[in-house]
Amino acid sequence: MTNQEAMLTMSHVSKTFYPGSPNQVNALQDVNLTVRKGDFITLVGGNGAGKSTLLNAISGNFLPDTGDIIVNGQDVTFLKEDKRAPYISRVFQDPKMGTAPRMTVQENLSLAYRRGQKRTLRFGTSHEEKVFFKEELKKLGLGLENRMGAEIGLLSGGQRQAIALLMATMKRPDILLLDEHTAALDPKTAKLVLELTNQQVIDNNLTSIMITHNLQDAIQYGNRMLVLHHGQIMKDYDEEMKKSLTPEKIFAELQELSIQDMLV
């Protein structure tokens, strides 16, 4: 693999919280990961496996103790979260985290459209931007193009997550991080948002990493699947290998890792 093909490279990344104390947590342990442009990776593991911690390391929520993080050829290892914003977008589990509830749909989209740009005193939406937003909302198929003046907080959780997804992908980020973004939704709405996610990733050739507890979704979506355990990547299944997987097989694998812990 050449460097040009790698959208994300993590080399020997480790992070320990509360070092030297009784509460010490080895959250990431010598993580090595190369993500190619266009990869859609699903991430599974038990509670405390380090899934969200891995995304936090990529997004700049904290700086690693050791290792390097390269995004699209740029070394972001020591860049704080706001400095990584032009390269990395994230959709969270809580629909409230990705949007400003008292602002309208149009105002939220305007903020996302200006992500990573220098702030000025001018704030508003041009006619061209309104047309663009309306077209993008129409693609979601939820009728939200007719609710651009509605406050985000008045929409359903599914509608808000769909808009949060649009906001995260509108500027075509180098990396899209999906942090259990359907976990708070009912099954029917979760399925809808997952289908929208898959479509956005495919249509825009986005490089994405998605945490999910739903093992069937982990198999169905994406072209790779990582199994995390105690901050380490235990398995990396490619697209061909995923075809032979079942939720039962993955569950058994996670159970085996837990049993090994008890035997240590």
Higher local confidence (pLDDT), 19 or 3: 19
126 lies in some domain: no
What pLDDT is recorded for position 104? 94
What share of residues in the chain are helix, strand, coil (percent, to 5)? 40, 25, 35
| pLDDT tens profile 130-175 | 999 999 999 888 999 999 999 999 999 999 999 999 999 988 999 9
Which residue's entry shows tokens 């500027």? 171
Q: How many CB atoms lie within 10 A of CB 171?
A: 15
**Which residue range(s) make up the domain with 79?**
3-101+175-263
162 lies in some domain: no
| pLDDT tens profile 97-121 | 888 889 999 999 998 888 755 554 4
Secondary structure in 3-state letters for 174-229? CEEEEECCCCCCCHHHHHHHHHHHHHHHHHCCCCEEEECCCHHHHHHCCCEEEEEE
Question: What CATH number is associated with residue 197?
Answer: 3.40.50.300
Which residue's entry shows tokens 């700086």? 63
166 lies in some domain: no
Local confidence band at 264 (pLDDT 50, 70, 90 cut-offs): low
Mean pLDDT of 10-35: 96
252 lies in some domain: yes
What is the residue-averaged pLDDT of the chain?
91
DSSP label at 151? B
Q: Exposed, middle or buried by CB within 10 Å (0-12, 13-18, 19+), for 1?
A: exposed
132 lies in some domain: no
Question: What is the torsional sign of CA 56, 62, 68, 73?
Answer: positive
What pLDDT is recorded for position 211? 97
Domain total for the chain? 1
122 lies in some domain: no
What pLDDT is recorded for position 34? 97
